[in-house]
């Protein structure tokens, strides 16, 4: 057996020893590469070598030190492949001459099987022993043996690495499935990455529709300010890379995506010349996908709970608003509901009264001049459209700094027309999620229906309570009012009026003029009584006035003025006769008798010459 054959036999033995070395455990390719140094020193007196491992068409130098995270230059396989066209063992390619770290290297050995991707290239500083062995027939067997060894190591370490990655992914996925807490999901994803790639910087960018309960320091995705590669990853759902010269880093963007949507971007940055390995990219992508699915499940769970809560809120609000509340009470209740549900810093309800928008319920801010920029913006919008307003950053709309940036404004539609609006504000941009916007729309829509019903009921009640011709209260309303006044007040007056010779007016001038006289007298009564009490049409040409909580002297005074002014304010001129009844603590009439007593006094006034009033009992 020749010396070279014996050397080959020893090499086989040593490589077999490396394969069976329990310390290596087949979990780190770099460990095997480090063990090649003493191997080559033993057999060929080679003391310096570098292994360039092929990763996704890129050759990367294997690091000698486990904690070495320095970035070394990557070399394109396509650029260096032609140097090995004829032989797998050649002098150092000229392409490598520009790399200082390879200055001491003299030879290059390609480790590649036919029609397979190369496992790598070994650079060595040649020795006499190496040159002598290179010329022997045993070299081809050695090269085949070393290539087989490195492929075997690469295959097994890949399996071990993948197994470790999948184990970690299984553990983290199992944790994801055990919680619906978004904070826990994101925190554990970041912790896993920090353990796996501690030498790289990790940033988390979440889409704007995420919940606001997060306690982690995350960035919200903003199309207007994000980098092009980040937007591309968010839109396409694929990994993107960028050589960010301005940030002096190499950046990877991994979309956090579920089955229905993309929920954010996992942005990982390394030094400028860093090359992400295939294993790193696969692990990051799978982890981001697992996180995306977990976020989606948590989001759907929260959405389900929120929908139930929203339906309960709408149902409760609709039920309360339909419990015979007046418009003002509705606004008070709605304001409290909005504050409880959306946590705005400012709330305002504007509502039309007699064709003019008026503040109904609003926080103090809306009574200040600073609020005009918001109210005018909304009113201008609603002059041209009925669409609700959802603005995440109001300062961009008006091109100036503002106090409150987040805004939601919903029109109050009654019979298809804008009858007012509701607006909520918050200082923080992007404070209100879109789900809140949709809920507020539903809430105001249902409230608008309740308001429309209340307005219609008020109009119908007004038609029942008012006399169509004179606009005075009807007899039925007067009866209730007088009965309540007798219960609530210890003093007051009831004044029953009859127009003198009214039949003569109708016969002489016609019933239309008679109606005009009734209207003239009614307007005068309303002007004189005001809000002290009410005026009503008793029937035909008879009218009535009830004013509670006034003294006998005041009752006589106003009665005298009413009788005195009527001839001066009617055309054709008419006079009136009236019966007055007053009550106090000493004389409290019975409800059923007050009308008959007033009628008796009126009868006396008629019989004593008309154009006067008579006080009952005097």
Per-residue pLDDT tens digits for 95-117: 888 888 888 899 999 999 888 88
Joined together, the tokens standing for residue 357 give 């928008």
Phi, psi of 476 (to 5 degrees): -65, -40
CA angle 399, 405, 408 (to 5 degrees): 115
Instruction: Say yes or no to pLDDT of 350 above 50.
Output: yes
Indicate the range of 145-154, 454-463, 532-541 predicted with least confidence: 454-463
284-295 mean pLDDT: 90
Say which residue the tokens 């609603």 belong to.
Answer: 382
280-296 mean pLDDT: 89
Per-residue pLDDT tens digits for 365-383: 999 999 999 999 999 999 9
Number of alpha carbons in the 13 Å side-chain half-sphere of residue 534? 20
Rounded to whole angstroms, the Cα distance separating 112 from 119 reads: 6
Instruction: Say yes or no to pLDDT of 209 above 80.
Output: no
Instruction: Say yes or no to pLDDT of 212 above 50.
Output: no
DSSP state letters, 543-600: EEEEEES--HHHHHHHHHHHHHHHHHH-SS---EEEEEEEE-SS----HHHHHHHHHH
pTM higher than the cut 0.85? no
pLDDT at residue 216, as a whole number: 60
Phi, psi of 63 (to 5 degrees): -80, 135
Element (H, E) at 76: strand 75-76
Q: Which CATH superfamily is domain 3-156 in?
A: GAF domain (3.30.450.40)
- In 3D space, the residue among 111, 194, 184, 212 whose CA is nearest the CA of residue 153 turns out to be 111
pLDDT band with cut points at 50, 70 and 90 for residue 576: very high
Give how far the C-alpha of residue 158 lies from the chain's centroid of Cα atoms, to the nearest Å: 44
pLDDT band with cut points at 50, 70 and 90 for residue 422: very high
Per-residue pLDDT tens digits for 488-518: 999 999 999 999 999 999 999 999 999 999 9
pLDDT at residue 115, as a whole number: 86
DSSP count for the chain of H helices, then E strands: 17, 21
Q: Which CATH superfamily is domain 475-615 in?
A: Reverse transcriptase/Diguanylate cyclase domain (3.30.70.270)
Joined together, the tokens standing for residue 568 give 């001066």
Indicate the range of 12-16, 237-241, 374-378 predicted with least confidence: 12-16
Instruction: Say yes or no to pLDDT of 319 above 50.
Output: yes
- Contact 206/249 with Cβ under 8 angstroms? no
Question: Beta-strand (E) ranges in 319-377?
Answer: 346-353, 356-362
SS3 of residue 91 by DSSP = strand
> Which class would CATH give 324-453?
alpha beta
Question: What are the sequence ranges of the domains in the chain?
Answer: 3-156, 179-301, 324-453, 475-615
Indicate the range of 1-5, 82-86, 525-529, 601-605 predicted with least confidence: 1-5
Per-residue pLDDT tens digits for 434-443: 888 998 998 8
Joined together, the tokens standing for residue 331 give 């606004």
The mean pLDDT of the chain is 87
Say which residue the tokens 């004829």 belong to.
Answer: 86
pLDDT at residue 373, as a whole number: 93
Say which residue the tokens 């290539």 belong to.
Answer: 147
Instruction: Say yes or no to pLDDT of 201 above 80.
Output: yes
Report the CATH fold assignment for 179-301.
Beta-Lactamase (3.30.450)
Burial of 324 (0-12, 13-18, 19+ CB in 10 A): exposed
Task: Give Cα separations from 534 to 126, 471, 514 (angstroms).
Answer: 118, 11, 23
- Contact 124/40 with Cβ under 8 angstroms? yes
61-88 mean pLDDT: 78
Joined together, the tokens standing for residue 348 give 């305002």
- Contact 551/538 with Cβ under 8 angstroms? no
pLDDT at residue 307, as a whole number: 77
Say which residue the tokens 């036919």 belong to.
Answer: 114
CA angle 391, 396, 399 (to 5 degrees): 135
Neighbours of 147 (CB within 10 A): 20
Question: Beta-strand (E) ranges in 371-462?
Answer: 389-391, 406-414, 417-426
pLDDT at residue 601, as a whole number: 94
Q: Does 3-156 match 179-301 in CATH topology? A: yes
């Amino acid at each position: 057996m020749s010396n070279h054959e014996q050397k080959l036999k020893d090499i086989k033995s040593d490589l077999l020893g490396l394969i069976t070395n329990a310390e290596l455990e087949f979990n780190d390719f770099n460990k095997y590469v480090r063990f090649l140094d003493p191997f080559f020193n033993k057999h060929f007196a080679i003391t310096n070598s570098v292994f360039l491992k092929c990763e996704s068409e890129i050759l990367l130098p294997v690091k000698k030190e486990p904690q070495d995270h320095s970035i070394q230059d990557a070399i394109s396989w396509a650029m260096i492949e032609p140097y090995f066209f004829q032989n797998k063992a050649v002098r150092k390619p000229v392409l490598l001459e520009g790399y200082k770290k390879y200055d001491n290297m003299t030879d290059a050995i390609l480790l590649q099987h036919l029609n397979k991707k190369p496992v790598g290239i070994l650079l060595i500083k040649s020795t006499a022993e190496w040159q002598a062995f290179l010329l022997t027939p045993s070299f081809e067997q050695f090269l085949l043996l070393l290539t087989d060894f490195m492929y075997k190591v690469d295959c097994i370490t890949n399996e071990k690495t993948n197994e470790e990655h999948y184990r970690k992914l299984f553990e983290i996925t199992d944790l994801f499935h055990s919680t619906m807490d978004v904070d826990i999901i994101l925190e554990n994803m970041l912790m896993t990455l920090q353990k796996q790639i501690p030498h790289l910087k990790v940033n988390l960018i979440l889409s704007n529709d995420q919940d606001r309960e997060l306690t982690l320091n995350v960035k919200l995705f903003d199309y207007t300010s994000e980098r092009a590669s980040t937007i591309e990853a968010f839109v396409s759902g694929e990994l993107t890379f960028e050589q960010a010269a301005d940030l002096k880093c190499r950046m990877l963007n991994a979309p956090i995506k579920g089955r229905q949507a993309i929920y954010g971007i996992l942005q990982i940055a390394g030094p400028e010349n860093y090359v992400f390995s295939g294993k790193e990219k696969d692990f990051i992508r799978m982890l981001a996908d697992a996180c995306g699915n977990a976020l989606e499940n948590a989001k759907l769970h929260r959405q389900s709970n929120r929908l139930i809560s929203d339906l309960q809120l709408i149902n409760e609000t609709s039920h309360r608003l339909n419990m015979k509340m007046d418009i003002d009470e509705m606004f008070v209740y709605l304001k409290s509901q909005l504050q409880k549900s959306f946590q705005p810093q400012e709330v305002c309800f504007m509502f039309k009264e007699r064709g003019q928008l008026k503040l109904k319920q609003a926080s103090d801010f809306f009574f200040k001049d600073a609020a005009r920029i918001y109210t005018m913006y909304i009113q201008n919008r609603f002059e041209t459209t009925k669409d609700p307003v959802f603005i995440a950053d109001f300062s961009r709309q008006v091109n100036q700094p503002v106090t409150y940036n987040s805004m939601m404004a919903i029109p109050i539609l009654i019979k298809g027309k804008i009858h007012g609006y509701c607006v909520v504000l918050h200082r923080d941009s992007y404070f209100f999620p879109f789900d809140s916007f949709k809920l507020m729309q539903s809430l105001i829509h249902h409230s608008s229906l309740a308001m429309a019903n209340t307005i219609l009921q008020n109009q119908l009640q007004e038609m029942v309570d008012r006399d169509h011709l004179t606009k005075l209260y009807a007899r039925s309303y007067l009866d209730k009012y007088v009965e309540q006044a007798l219960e609530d007040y210890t003093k007051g007056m009831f004044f029953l009026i009859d127009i003198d010779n009214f039949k003569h007016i109708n016969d002489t001038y016609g019933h239309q003029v008679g109606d005009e006289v009734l209207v003239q007298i009614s307007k005068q009564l309303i002007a004189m009584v005001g809000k002290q009490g009410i005026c009503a049409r008793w029937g035909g040409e008879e009218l009535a006035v009830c004013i509670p909580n006034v003294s006998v002297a005041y009752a006589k005074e106003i009665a005298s003025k009413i009788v005195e002014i009527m001839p001066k304010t009617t055309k054709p001129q008419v006079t009136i006769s009236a019966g007055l009844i007053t009550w106090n603590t000493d004389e409290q009439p019975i409800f059923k008798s007050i009308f008959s007593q007033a009628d008796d006094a009126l009868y006396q006034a008629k019989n004593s010459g008309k154009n006067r009033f008579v006080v009952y009992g005097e």
